[in-house]
Amino acid sequence: MPKSKAHKKGNSKKSNFLRIYAVLFLTATAGLALLFKFSPLFKQIQQNAQVLQSSTGPVYPEHFYVMDNSGSITSDRLKIEKAASNYLIDRIVPPRGGVYKFTNVASLLANLTLNKTTLHNAANSLKVAEGGARDFKLAINVAVDKLLAQNAVCPAIVILSDGKFSTEQVRTDALAAAATARSKGVAIYGIAAKPRSQQDSDFIKDLAKGNCSGSPHCGEFQVLTGATIGTKLNTIMNHMKTRCSSKFSFTKELLLYRDGPISEPPFNEGYPGDRAYYKIPFTNIDTTDLLNISITDTIPSYMTYLPGSAKLYYSNGSYTQLYPVNNVITANVGNVSPGNWARLEFVTIINADVPNGYVITNKATVTGSNISNIDAISPAITIKL
């Protein structure tokens, strides 16, 4: 039976409706895909922070070994002084170290240097001098002046002696010199080499720690008799690195973003096109200004800098636009007063040619006139294709 015109017309309307519905559905689907692809609201798939000290080891002071070689120092005591100096030279250089010897005069044997051989040779060259006179005040003042003249970072003196003093005035003058050193930012670490009495031991202890409660530049003290040198000197080293790294905090935070609708990967895994957003804050937690602060960061391999993303933010609410040069971002912060901060931020994109399994890390370095250089290393991104 032939279909009526009305029936054919109804079917035609239904077909047109289905065609329009299909077109609208496909258009909406494509539109959503494009929206996901180009939306500035990215899916956050990783947020982590990790703080590492310098890749060369903990932070130690730039320092002088001030070694007593007066006639009061017998050969066994001088042997302890040399052993202690050599132990520390092997472990806390770099940064720079130097060597003085002193009796009633002070003589420079090695100026500040990174050369461990030079320092070992200087310390090992000491011989017991004739006569027991010594001038602790002079030795401290000369070493302090030398450190400050060379802009030593987190400066310190390691004084090695049996602690014997000839008069009360010698003791009083030496303690005053030690207090002045601390007021200038120089800590004193005392090593008493086989002291003959408690009075002698207490004198070296007071040079390092006397009347300095609350000062950020109090030192540490140990008595060495020839045994357990390493254990006792490690205590001094621990104090050194705590003091020298307590001026500021420096961290690196990584946030990894991905455009939808790609599913989220496992933690720490990246994919070409992912955006790595780095935040690198520096905060002054010291009681004095930190001078000429600068943060540098090199864009990692298989990553491309997102133009316009590098900015240096300040605690006063302002910011500076930065521009990488040869893939290196340099943020010249300047002086940072106590309690204030600066934060470098930038974004990179993982390249399409990154190999499967490649591990990406990013290191920032902070430097300054009166701080030790420190690296902050981001968590690793492992490429999973």
Residue whose token pair is 């003589």: 107
Measured between alpha carbons, how far is residue 211 from residues 156, 242, 265 in Å? 17, 20, 58
Q: Which two tokens stand for residue 88?
A: 């520390």
pTM: 0.60
Whether the CB-CB separation of 37 and 29 falls below 8 Å is answered with no
pLDDT band for position 266 (50/70/90)?
Answer: low
Tokens read off for 95: 């940064």
Q: Mark out the alpha helices in the chain (DSSP H runs).
A: 5-38, 75-92, 116-124, 136-149, 168-183, 198-209, 229-245
Domain coordinates of the chain in residue numbers?
63-245, 248-383
Sign of the alpha-carbon torsion through 180, 182, 185, 189:
positive
Q: What is the pLDDT of residues 55-70, one digit of tens each?
A: 334 578 899 999 999 9
Helices (H) and strands (E) in the chain — how many of each? 7, 21
CATH annotation of 63-245: 3.40.50.410
pLDDT at 125: 98
Q: Are 179 and 209 in contact (CB under 8 A)?
A: no
What percent of the chain has pLDDT above 70?
A: 82
- Strand pairing category for 63-68 and 97-102: parallel
Q: How confident is the model at residue 261 (pLDDT cuts 50, 70, 90)?
A: low
Cβ contact 296:374 at 8 Å: no
User: What is residue 15's predicted lDDT score, i.e. its pLDDT?
Assistant: 53
Domain boundaries 248-383, corresponding CATH code: 2.60.40.740
Query: Which residues make Cβ contacts (< 8 Å) with residue 156, sequence separation at least 6?
Result: 61, 62, 63, 147, 186, 187, 188, 189, 219, 240
Per-residue pLDDT, averaged over 196-214, amounts to 92
Position 215 pLDDT exceeds 70: yes
Please spell the DSSP secondary structure of 284-323, one letter per residue.
E-SSSPEEEEEEEEEPPTTEEE-TT--EEEETTS-EEE--
On the question of pLDDT at 7 being above 90, the answer is no
Helix/strand/coil for 199: helix
- Helix, strand or coil, per DSSP, at residue 22: helix
Mean pLDDT of 240-267: 72
State the residue for tokens 């090199």: 298
* Maximal C-alpha separation, the chain: 136
- Let me know: does 112 contact 96? Beta carbons within 8 Å: yes
Amino acid, res. 70: S
C-alpha to C-alpha distance for 269 and 380, rounded to whole angstroms: 9
